[in-house]
Amino acid sequence: MQSALIFGARNLGRAVALHLASSGVDVAVAARSEDSLARVKAELPASLTIRADARERDDVERAFTSAIESFGRVDLVVVAISPSTGGGGRSSGEISGLAPAALDPYTSDLLPALFTILTVGAGFLRAQGSGTYIQITGGSSRRGMPKTAPWATGAFGTRGMIQAAASELREDGVHAALLIVDATIESDKTRERLTGRDPIESTSEQAVAEAIEYLARQDERAWTHELQLTPRGDRWVP
């Protein structure tokens, strides 16, 4: 693996970029926020930063084209974007009290963006005849937890997209995988919420980045198409 294109740069995407760069990988990062891209550039001056809205096909195509022009090819695509929930968060309340608009961040924002990246990225990776595509999602992709119906709707849809893509793309030498992080990820965004809790009840951005590298470096005779991370101290439901 020589090069990677990462969508999302605020927290987890930035951590993945830093980890891969430390392993000698050429990194390109695409995001909507200029501030997030500037932070990545300050920490990784050699990285390629691309202003792009993942919901816009032209922007996504430009991100892939720019990365390929800079690196010659893209060996790894990581999708680490999250929905804009307007402060509502993933735990949106009891199902009987949810308004129809509670779905909007997922059905009108997140899923269209993920679908755009996947459809465009599949074309580029197929043309190469190789590469790894990793989509990150949460534990609600495998079970709908209480008070998270809107998030579970988006997560289940995400899982279905990647399962379909994995079945198709493997025939063309492309490895597609879903990385389920069934945990709160410690970051600037969640640190206050995790204060006072045992660290083994959550996971770290570094641990997620290492899992991504593991998937990306797998031998084609032993591909993993779905990997779940669960901290030892968290409640685990098989």
Angle at 220 between CA 137 and CA 209, to 5 degrees: 35
Per-residue pLDDT reduced to its tens digit, 47-96: 999 999 999 999 999 999 999 999 999 999 999 998 775 444 444 789 88
Both tokens of 24, joined, read 């000698």
CATH number for the domain that contains residue 24? 3.40.50.720
Residue 210 lies in a domain: yes
Residue 53 lies in a domain: yes
- Residue 88, pLDDT score: 44
Average pLDDT over all residues of the chain: 92
Total Cβ atoms within 10 A of residue 167: 11
Residue 238 lies in a domain: no
**pTM higher than the cut 0.85:** yes
- Residue 87, pLDDT score: 44
Note down the domain range covering 179.
Answer: 3-86+98-229
What is the rounded CA–CA span in Å between residue 66 and residue 128? 15
The candidate with the shortest Cα–Cα distance to 21, out of 36, 43, 39, is 43
Buried b (16+ CB within 10 A) or exposed e, 107-129: eebbbebbebbbebbbebbbeee
Residue 234 lies in a domain: no
| Total domains, the chain | 1
- Residue 234, pLDDT score: 85
Mean pLDDT, to the nearest integer, of 15-27?
A: 97
